[in-house]
Structure 1
Amino acid sequence: MQDFKALLKRLSEAFGPSGFEDEVRDLVIEEMRPYVDQIFVDKWGNVYGVKKGRTEYRAMVAAHMDEIGLVVDHVEKSGFLRVKPVGGWNEVTLVGQRVIIKARDGRKIRGVVGTRPPHITPPGKEREAPEMKDLFIDIGASSAEEVAKLGVEVGSVAVLDREFVDLAYDVVTGKAFDDRVGLAVMLYTLRQLDDIPVTLYAVATVQEEVGLRGASIAAERVNPHYAIALDTTVASDVPGASERDYVARVGKGPAIKVLDGGRAGLFIAHPRLRDFIVEVARREGIPHQLEVLYGGTTDALAIAFRREGVPAATISIPTRYIHSPVEVLKVDDAVNASKLLAATIRNSDSNFIESLLEKHIK
């Protein structure tokens, strides 16, 4: 438990908005190296850890490195920074937050997100939710020239400045659990695997938050016989939400996704693969829950419809307050997700793989 928490803390606190995952990538390679036979990084920065199995069948596990962030799109003459979102924000969560900005030379510059004070807001507008155009970052500079001296410019990126903290009962909070917890589960699983029936490609993907970009590339390259994405899922088990809207509950085990998506269309997990994961969970006595999420998806969608098609599913870690500075999860759920993933890989023998292959009807 403690070693998993230490791993999640390192990953969570790292700087890694979409397209700028370098710091996270270095950690992944360091953690992965003792447990795989080969590591390589593709042109867009996906990390592949290859663990050879007893057969040539290929399984792919994907977890994304990137977190949502902000990008500077204008520097005011007064030294304030205007920003645009990189990924999906609810602006309410940004007001009054500290941020870290990566300067041109790699230095980390701290700032705070501000907006117009309520004292000078027109009557009736004080409690309206701000829009991104209303927000700015204050780094202490009093002019555009002072901003430039710090190495901050248009195109500089920022993430939330939050540390990993323990709550009670092995519940933890921090930023970027979406999807550093998926990365932690993948890396922790590699420690548990020795002799496996399939050749495993553990892939840490880039740019998931802006369109599942890295997983698309990785799926084309690996062309796996099946794939499992690891990600957070919505846990709305809080006051004010009805039980029907919970999606998943913290402390009830990893969620095995049935379907997700929204207006752009639904992703339905491959039925045979999904049922196999459920069977493994039941046989191994691993607590789990089934998940139906309308809104949001995972790398599984990008992997599933490449080449001739890849049977794909998702194991999720229930997380409260996703895409906020104070995401919350129970460590047990993540550790059990790792146990479930490891058991699924160990049990995916040739008979199971062949049951997923296309069938020719005479």
Structure 2
Amino acid sequence: MSIELIKELTQLSGPSGYEGDVGDFIREKLASVGELTTDRIGNIVCRIEGSDPQAPHLLMAAHQDEVAFMVSDITGGGFLRFIGIGGWNPITLPSSPVEVISESGERHYGIIGQLPPHFIPKGEAPKVPTIDELFIDIGARSMEEVEELYQVGIGSIIVPYAPFKYNPKGEVLFSKAFDDRIGVAALIELAHLVKEKGVASTLSLAFTVQEEVGVRGAKVLAQSIEADAAIVVEGAPADDVPSNIGAPQTVLGKGAHLRIFDTSHIGHPGLFRLARNCARREGIEVQEAVRKGGGTDAREIALAKGGIPTIVCGVGVRYAHSHNSLISLSDYRNLVKLLFAVSQDMMNLE
């Protein structure tokens, strides 16, 4: 199931606030697994009853949305100005391909453009552009053509164009949106595994929305969810590329990411020890990490209902929040194994 599931999920379009296609896919995959509910903001929860009513109720959450763009203006010459939905590094954007989605759902291929180097004044050094200095070229020749022929207007959604690729030699997957469709895929696989084998704890598998624009879905989820512990499952930025940030803690192919700390959340020590012990007992490769930045849905979930013991785990993603990123399939498999092992062992939560 793994590779095809990941491919299908990452190739769906689901910018923050526009996660409908992703939500439909999740409901289709989990319709026969557990009780499904969807709230008014778009969060989906799949509840799978455990065999022991006394066992702790475990929440696991992954977010549906991806970083993307929105048309903010159309020039007289038919170029599209845009804003980012979620966090982008503008240095990665020039010449990147995108798809602009029309009112009818038709997709128009385009390229993110900037002023060519030929027109930079002599003696002036090239600089990193801001998003305000970039534009999207879909081949239109006027504003009227954009609006009438292409049916694109202010507010139209723009998504990265990045075909899925798999290299079996290194078991490496390439695509967009691993943050956080890889977490969504892991929870879908876990749901079917739990349905087949059973666990003592009742599981609530939550698929949140609008994480990339301020964990808004998690804020809504936190108002209603009842759980004794929670695991937020993420596509975690890998730090194993050439840099000067120190020794890497999330290396592709070295295991699932198990986070101790980031600036929005401190992992619960008891639940962290439980996850670590499960990994050691089952021979599951994990990598423990302390992050100096970043943030996840754990920020809201950990503070819900008087406090829910929460940790973050996931899969390392190289080049997260860009058009093209890559992950290790073995890291993903280790993540699914870890989630299942923890769900089996919740009676040992301290």
Q: TM-score, with normalisation over the residues of structure 2?
A: 0.95
The corresponding residue for 1:236 is 239
The CA deviation at 1:122 is: 2.1
Distance 1:209 1:91 in 2: 16
Q: Is the 8 A contact 1:81 1:136 kept in 2?
A: yes
Alignment of 1:199-348 (within 5 A): 199-241=202-244, 243-244=246-247, 246-261=248-263, 266-348=264-346
User: Letter of the aligned partner of 2:98 in structure 1?
Assistant: V
Residues 272 and 155 of structure 1, relative CA distance in 2, 3 Å threshold = same
The corresponding residue for 2:116 is 117
Residues 273 and 124 of structure 1, relative CA distance in 2, 3 Å threshold = farther
The CA deviation at 1:241 is: 4.1
The corresponding residue for 2:177 is 176
Q: Unaligned 5+ residue runs, structure 1?
A: 356-362
Map Cα deviations across residues 162-211 of structure 1 (whole Å, 9 max, x no partner).
Answer: 11111331011111111111111111111211322222111111000001
The corresponding residue for 1:148 is 147
The corresponding residue for 1:106 is 105
Q: Does 1:86 align with 2:88?
A: no
Q: Is the 8 A contact 2:249 2:287 kept in 1?
A: no
Q: Does 1:185 align with 2:186?
A: yes
The corresponding residue for 1:60 is 59
Q: Is the 8 A contact 1:254 1:287 kept in 2?
A: yes
Q: Is the 8 A contact 1:99 1:159 kept in 2?
A: yes
Segment of structure 1 superposing worse, 277-286 or 25-34: 25-34
Aligned-residue Cα RMSD (Å) equals: 1.4
Distance 1:31 1:156 in 2: 28
The CA deviation at 1:243 is: 4.5
Distance 2:325 2:270 in 1: 32
The corresponding residue for 1:358 is none
The corresponding residue for 2:39 is 42
- Superposed structure 1 runs of 4+ greater than 6 Å apart: none
Distance 1:131 1:316 in 2: 31
Q: Is the 8 A contact 1:237 1:243 kept in 2?
A: no
User: Letter of the aligned partner of 1:121 in structure 2?
Assistant: I
Q: Is the 8 A contact 2:120 2:126 kept in 1?
A: no
Distance 2:36 2:277 in 1: 31
Distance 1:305 1:138 in 2: 44
Distance 2:297 2:21 in 1: 21
Q: Unaligned 5+ residue runs, structure 2?
A: none
Matched residue of 1:100: which SS?
Answer: strand
The corresponding residue for 1:26 is 24
Matched residue of 2:212: which SS?
Answer: coil
Q: Is the 8 A contact 2:13 2:159 kept in 1?
A: yes
User: Letter of the aligned partner of 1:184 in structure 2?
Assistant: A
User: Letter of the aligned partner of 1:158 in structure 2?
Assistant: I
The CA deviation at 1:127 is: 3.0
Aligned residues: 344
User: Letter of the aligned partner of 2:173 in structure 1?
Assistant: V
Residues 125 and 28 of structure 1, relative CA distance in 2, 3 Å threshold = farther
Distance 1:248 1:112 in 2: 32
